[in-house]
Structure 1
């Protein structure tokens, strides 16, 4: 839905969290120590980051200070990631139900932005990390290309073509996507990632 001057990211975020939840449910114990394209994370720490980051955007949607929320989750058992993510994603979806959240200024790690821009950023994050997870565990199912196209459009809007990797821009320099790459590989390349097994 397009509202005044922006596309409402909430329907896309809902679909993105549903997709992430489906992939997280396929993670098995033997996957947890596997590497991911997000090189600072193995599967277990990526799941922790996803749960913690979703808790952060839930707090932002509730009107709290997201920067006070650590973007990782402690104390989740190895067999508890699916339940932990389901709980926090439902909280996030509820927190962003009100239309006024779309235009309210909120604080996120990259600055103070309108709510719609913050939530669009978290679409980009969860879609990218879902791809990271799929790469790590062997692509248990096809991913929704429309979600990657939305995330890629946002990434191109907010991240410069060449940028340093720092706290404000936690992505590596853009890579060239392979010829004929699909939307997820193009998104990954824009964010400096490569499929596992490629350098």
Structure 2
């Protein structure tokens, strides 16, 4: 990946895609496991909502000390509205930045990096968890391939196989099945077991 890449145009696509999948989740499916072993669908949506809000805060100039952390809660279980609002805040924060702000260093708690890297990381995070949710729901929705290509390139550059375990929250790289698309290769790189048809 070219480290000069501006990830801001991808924020709306990544958050919009995840929000669209969340909108398809029936309440009866919230306890369904996902390929991200620590999360069922409810916890996965909460995790992505919390992280989306955290990175919006970083883009707005806040710090990790201001970030509440933890899994976000949705009042009354209104996950679609909660995630849509979080995504809109992240997109607005990105749009409000001038180009020079992308080089501002931000402390994420587990790492310090330029804001452009942090925004690339949240695109990767949302894209990977979109695949998790997509798999948990049984597929059936076409996913934006460019998001996965971008995210896979970023993951390979910043998360080499030797960088696993605390504080890096990913399992060891697993082999991707032959013919896996970019989402499947991204999932495998981040430690997911990818089905042959996934």
Aligned-partner SS, 2:75: coil
For 2:132 and 2:123, the matched residues in 1 are separated by 14
Q: Per-residue deviation at 1:31?
A: 1.1
* Runs of 5+ consecutive residues of structure 1 not aligned to the other structure: none
Number of matched pairs: 193
Instruction: Check 1:48–1:40 CA distance in 2 against 1; reply closer, same or farther (3 A cut).
Output: same
Which residue of the partner structure matches residue 158 of structure 1? 158
Which residue of the partner structure matches residue 129 of structure 2? 129
Which residue of the partner structure matches residue 117 of structure 1? 117
- Given that 2:74 and 2:82 are in contact with CA atoms closer than 8 Å, whether structure 1 keeps it comes out as no
- Given that 1:36 and 1:196 are in contact with CA atoms closer than 8 Å, whether structure 2 keeps it comes out as no
For 1:139 and 1:109, the matched residues in 2 are separated by 34
Aligned-partner SS, 2:160: coil
For the pair 1:177 / 2:148, whether they are aligned, the reply is no
Superposed structure 1 runs of 4+ greater than 6 Å apart: none
- Given that 1:106 and 1:114 are in contact with CA atoms closer than 8 Å, whether structure 2 keeps it comes out as yes
| Worse overlay, 12-21 or 37-46 | 12-21
For 1:174 and 1:48, the matched residues in 2 are separated by 25
Equivalent residue runs for 1:16-165 within 5 Å: 16-66=14-64, 68-78=67-77, 80-97=78-95, 98-99=97-98, 100-165=100-165
Q: CA RMSD in A?
A: 1.8
For 1:12 and 1:120, the matched residues in 2 are separated by 9
| Worse overlay, 33-42 or 99-108 | 99-108
* Runs of 5+ consecutive residues of structure 2 not aligned to the other structure: none
Q: Per-residue deviation at 1:105?
A: 1.0
Q: Per-residue deviation at 1:180?
A: 0.9
Aligned-partner SS, 1:6: coil
For 1:129 and 1:32, the matched residues in 2 are separated by 15
Q: Per-residue deviation at 1:134?
A: 0.6
For the pair 1:188 / 2:187, whether they are aligned, the reply is yes
Instruction: Check 1:71–1:57 CA distance in 2 against 1; reply closer, same or farther (3 A cut).
Output: farther
Q: Per-residue deviation at 1:104?
A: 1.1
Aligned-partner SS, 1:40: coil
Q: Per-residue deviation at 1:75?
A: 4.6
Aligned-partner SS, 2:76: coil
TM-score norm. by structure 2 comes to: 0.91
| Worse overlay, 174-183 or 106-115 | 106-115
For 2:38 and 2:172, the matched residues in 1 are separated by 15
